[in-house]
Amino acid sequence: MGQSFKRKVFYIPGYDPIHPRRYRELYRREAAAQAAISGYDIHLSAKTGPGGYGWFVDSEIDGRSTRAEFEVMLWSDLVRASMNSGILATYWQMVRTAYIYIMSGALWRLMQLRKGPVIAALYPVVMLIGQAAVAVALAYAAGAALSLWHPGLFWLGLVVIPWVLMGFRRYDNRFFAYYLMHDYAYSAAARGANPSELEARLAQFATRVVAALRSDVDEVLLVGHSSGAHLAISLLADIERSGAHQTGGPALSFLSLGQVVPMVSFLPNAHRLRRDLRHMSGQRQMTWVDVTAPGDGCTFALCDPVAVTGVAPPDQKWPLVLSAAFSQTLSAEKWRALKRRFFRLHFQYICAFDRPADYDYFQITAGPLTLGARYKDRAPSPGKVTRAVSKYRQTCP
């Protein structure tokens, strides 16, 4: 048996207010399921001491042992703070966000790529308008009932409206209207530019990644899921431009999963993200693999985020665009059970596949091969979209 392979994994979640233990327990459950299907051993253990929230993973795959240290890069506190808006403020966010996407032309351009994520973006708008309509209808009915006793009481029915809207918000864990509205509003608030508090958090993340690059691990792997993908792009671009990633150190790899990069990069003020996309696409010292799936209606499946934004350089090398092909890598029974569960499907990339192909999240994060070695000479998946669609392609203000 050869020497144990060592890896540091940084996981950047999407817009999620929940404590990261959810990701640890998800990894524990799904890793065990995938190991049973694919025939390897994998075990989690607690992480103690200084550093961010995380865990250790030890595996035995293809006769080689691997030890991976996971760290979740937390920005859930920023997410929770952005979700503190009241009901009226959320409706104002809805109007403002819709105005930005429509008047900038971004919404129409996004629809030319994939309709699924655009429908997902419109969902909270439709739901919030629907909830307001229900509240008004119930207020009218209450006023009509009260007017049977006295015509002047009709307007008292208006008191029903805030109670109905508060009820809808209380059960938003079923509707996800407020949650999704806050998500899209956060990205659109500055028309694609990062809020100052998010930029400060990215600088903190970069310090931890640079420290890992100076350690004795074999690979430093960043995993960006959903909106965490575009944060990882900017984070890595900052590190590469700083010169902190040097030849001879650990391999630096980036795995983007279920990315929604165009939702931000197509906005007028996303100069930083467009500049970072262009920079990262031409790197030769790192590997970037982008995994999406047409079955995931919340992602821009098979869309090269660099090319569709219109900032691809002539010597573009990354990302390698691959499909997780849910309809093929999940059994017919499991696919039927999941294909209507849109939010669950958006997390399938970090879950077990009962008919796995060459994408295995647990072998990538806890196996004995670097991301570059695993996908060396791998061709992009058929159907890759590279047509430049974005109206805004400037990389400087």
The string of DSSP codes covering 202-259 is HHHHHHHHHHHHTSS-SEEEEEEETTHHHHHHHHHHHHHHHT-S-TTS-EEEEEEES-
As a whole number, the mean pLDDT across the chain is 94
Q: What is the structure's pLDDT at 1?
A: 44
In this predicted model, what pLDDT tens digit does every residue of 341-381 receive, in sequence order? 888 999 999 999 999 999 999 999 999 999 999 999 999 99
What single letter denotes the amino acid at residue 355? R
Which tens digit of pLDDT belongs to each residue from 162-184? 999 999 999 998 889 999 999 99
Mean pLDDT, residues 205-223: 96
Q: Mind listing the pLDDT tens digit for each residue in 257-274?
A: 999 999 999 999 999 999
How much is the pLDDT for 3?
73
CA distance 160 to 170: 15
User: In the chain, what are the domain boundaries?
Assistant: 5-77+203-374, 85-188
Would you say 349 and 225 are in contact if contact means Cβ atoms under 8 Å apart? yes
Q: Say how far apart CA 358 and CA 332 lie, in whole Å.
A: 19
- Report yes or no: 117 and 135 within 8 Å, Cβ to Cβ: no
Helices (DSSP H) in the chain: which residue ranges?
21-38, 76-82, 87-103, 106-111, 115-147, 160-170, 172-175, 177-188, 196-213, 228-242, 262-265, 271-281, 305-309, 326-329, 332-338, 342-345, 361-366, 371-374
Residue 2 confidence class, pLDDT cut points 50, 70, 90: low
pLDDT digits (tens, 9 = 90+) for 68-104: 999 999 999 999 999 998 999 999 999 999 999 999 9
From residue 290, give the alpha-carbon distance in Å to each of 2, 268, 312, 362. Answer: 30, 24, 15, 16
pLDDT of residue 7: 98
pLDDT of residue 333: 95
Stretch 322-335: mean pLDDT: 95
pLDDT digits (tens, 9 = 90+) for 101-160: 999 999 999 999 999 999 999 999 999 999 999 999 999 999 898 888 888 777 888 999
Tokens standing for residue 97: 């966000």
